[in-house]
Amino acid sequence: AQSVTQLGSHVSVSEGALVLLRCNYSSSVPPYLFWYVQYPNQGLQLLLKYTSAATLVKGINGFEAEFKKSETSFHLTKPSAHMSDAAEYFCAVRGSGGYQKVTFGTGTKLQVIP
Amino acid sequence: EAGVVQSPRYKIIEKKQPVAFWCNPISGHNTLYWYLQNLGQGPELLIRYENEEAVDDSQLPKDRFSAERLKGVDSTLKIQPAELGDSAVYLCASSLVSGGVADTQYFGPGTRLTVL
């Protein structure tokens, strides 16, 4: 079984500051890992995904995440926060063999302070 | 290309009433998912279809929830009768599964259900 833990249900950063959203995973098989963003009253949009290729994954809107097996982590970062980054972010995991259910974390709401 | 379409976007009903949600996936996607998202939580899978077949419905409360995907395209999720605890957002997603490997899931905007 797979699971993810997102540390911090709410994160506040100043505009222009570093964004760091934390995600730790648990998986009995090599995982695929995802970050999704959800704006108010909208569905989830894929930011980036790790599928066992490069450990540093670059996504849309300037976000990136690094897969660290030794730390079982997949933290999401962005060097400089924009007001438009305010949203809820979900980390998700699935196993890499055949069909595996995607399991989502509980989400981190990012607030960007002007 | 159009994304995943869901309707209605919002629905308010009284408890014990029936309700139905509709989803049209991305063209060519053979796999369709219905998720439940409670406030402050991540999505939880209710049912997954590959073409017309429901291949994972283990989390679907079958006493009151039902779903169908006729012709392997559009899908409908129904609740009858609705309970107060069913108030949530119901998300539909689709993906292309090829050779047993699932590609990225693309989500619709969801239907926000309020049961009074």
Q: Which residue is associated with the tokens 């998720």? A: B35
Q: Is A49 an interface residue toward B (CB < 8 Å)?
A: yes
What letters, b where the CB count within 10 A reaches 16 and e where it falls short, cover A44-80?
bebbbbbbeeeeebebeeebbbebeeeeebbbbebee
Which pLDDT belongs to residue A77? 98
Q: What digits encode the pLDDT tens for the residues B65-85?
A: 999 998 889 999 999 999 999
Residue B22: partners with Cβ closer than 8 Å, 6 or more residues away: B6, B7, B74, B75, B76
> Rounded to an integer, what distance in angstroms lies between the CA atom of residue B84 and that of residue B48?
24
Q: What pLDDT does B49 receive?
A: 93
pLDDT on residue B66: 96
Interface mutation target, options B37, B44, B46, chain A, most CBs of A under 10 Å = B37
Q: What is the greatest pairwise CA distance in chain A?
A: 45
pLDDT attached to residue A99:
67
Rg (CA), chain A: 14
pLDDT along chain A (114 residues), means of 10: 91 97 88 92 90 88 94 96 96 78 93 96
For residue A98, what pLDDT is reported?
Answer: 64
Q: Which residues make Cβ contacts (< 8 Å) with residue A52, sequence separation at least 6?
A: A30, A32, A96
User: In this model, does residue B97 exceed pLDDT 80?
Assistant: no
- From the list A43, A49, A107, which residue is nearest B104 (CB)? A49
Q: Is A31 on the interface with B (CB under 8 A)?
A: no
| pLDDT at residue number B101 | 61
A114: buried, middle or exposed (CB in 10 Å: 19+, 13-18, 0-12)? exposed
Residues of A in contact with B97 (CB under 8 A): 99
What type of residue sits at position A75? H
**Would you place residue B100 in the very low, low, confident or very high pLDDT band (cuts 50, 70, 90)?**
low
- For residue B102, pLDDT over 70 is answered with no
- Give the percent of chain B with pLDDT over 90: 78
Which pLDDT value is given to residue A63?
97
